[in-house]
Amino acid sequence: MTASSGPAPTGLRLPLPLAKLLGHGGGAFGLAIMVFFVILAVFGRLLSPYDPNANDYMSLLAPPSATHWFGTDELGRDTLSRVIDGSRIAVAVAFLSVSIAMAVGVVIGVVAGFFGGLVDAVLNRSQDVLFAFPTLLLAIILVAVLGPGLFNASLAIAIVYSPRFARMARASTLSIKTSEYLDAARLAGVSTPVILVRHVLPNALPPVIVLAALSMSTAQLAYASLSFLGLGVSPPQADWGSMLSKGRDFITIAPWLVIWPTVALVLLMLAFNVLGDAIRDVLDPSHTSTGKSPDTIR
C-alpha cells in the first residue's frame, strides 16, 4: 500500500493581513479585547446576571459581594450588569461615529486631492473651519443644537473627526494621482469616476484604516465626556460616562461606582490604540524608520 502523493492538509489559512495581525503581539491583544467587548455589546442582556435597570431597594449602595460582584448603585441596580449594558453604547458609538467620519472625510479628501484647483481650495477651507474649534467644544455645540441622544452624539463626533480623515485621504491621493498606472488608465479611456473608485480609493485607504482604528479610542473618550455632561443617551439606559457622572457623588462611600466604568473605558480605549498601532505595523512596516503616525494628522 503506497502513501498518497497529494499535499498534506495545512489547516485553516487566514488572509495574510489578519494572520500578520494575529502574529503581532499587540495586535492579538487589542483584537482579543475588542472582540470581548463586541460580544458583551451583542449578547450583554443574556450575559448580565441581573436586569441592568432593575431596582433592589434592599441593596442600595451595596459593596462588591458574591451576590453583586461589582456592587450596586444608589438605586440598588447591579453595577456589573450596567457596565455590561453600557458596552453596547460604547462599541456602537465608536464604530458608528468613526464610520461616518471616515466615509465623509475620504470622499472629501479624495475629490479635493484628485481634482485640485478651486475644488481643493474650497473643500480644504471648509475643513479648516472645523479644525479651528477645539474638538470637544465643537462636539458639545453640535449636540446642543442637534439634541442629546446616541445618534446625535455619534453624528456630532463624526462631523468633528471628518477633517482628519479628509486630510489623510487628500495627502494619499496627491501622491497617487501622478502615478503611471493612472496615466495608463486615462490613456485607455477609463472614465474619471471609475479611476477614482477602482484605482485611487483602494490605494488611499490603508493609512485611513490605521487612522480609523486609532480614532475609535478618542471617539469613545469624546462620547464618554458628552455623556458625563448629560448629552448622551437618556436614563435609565446605562453608559459609562453617565455612570461616572452619577458615581462621583458617592465616590467616598461607594468608589466601585466610579472604578468599574473607568476600568471598562480604559480597557476599550487601550484595545483600540494597541490595535491601531498593530494595523499600522502590518500595513506600513516602514513607519518605524520615519517616526510618523497617522494620528498626528490635524
**Span 122-147, pLDDT tens digits:** 998 888 888 888 888 999 999 989 98
Q: Which residues contact 60 (CB under 8 A, 6 or more apart)?
A: 72, 74, 75, 76
Helix 79-115 to helix 240-247 angle (10° resolution) is: 130
H helical segments located in the chain: 16-23, 25-47, 79-115, 117-131, 135-146, 150-176, 180-187, 192-194, 201-228, 240-247, 256-283, 287-290
Helix 16-23 to helix 256-283 angle (10° resolution) is: 130
Task: Sort 242 into a burial class: Cβ within 10 Å, 0-12 / 13-18 / 19+.
Answer: buried
Q: What is the pLDDT at residue 284?
A: 66
Q: What is the pLDDT at residue 181?
A: 80
Q: Which of 3-7, 100-104, 169-173 has the lowest mean pLDDT?
A: 3-7
- Average pLDDT of the chain is 86
Question: Rounded to 5 degrees, what are φ and ψ at 78?
Answer: -70, 120
User: Is residue 287 very low, low, confident or very high in pLDDT (cuts 50, 70, 90)?
Assistant: low
The answer to whether 117 touches 107, Cβ cutoff 8 Å, is no
Handedness of CA 192, 196, 200, 202 (dihedral sign): negative
pLDDT in tens, 149-163: 899 999 999 999 999
Assigned C-alpha cell, 12 = 485553516
pLDDT in tens, 217-265: 999 999 999 999 999 898 888 999 999 999 999 999 999 999 999 999 9
pLDDT in tens, 183-221: 788 888 888 888 888 888 888 888 898 899 889 999 999
Domains observed in the chain = 20-45+78-287 (1.10.3720.10)
Q: How far apart are the first and last CA of the chain?
A: 69
The answer to whether 246 touches 73, Cβ cutoff 8 Å, is yes
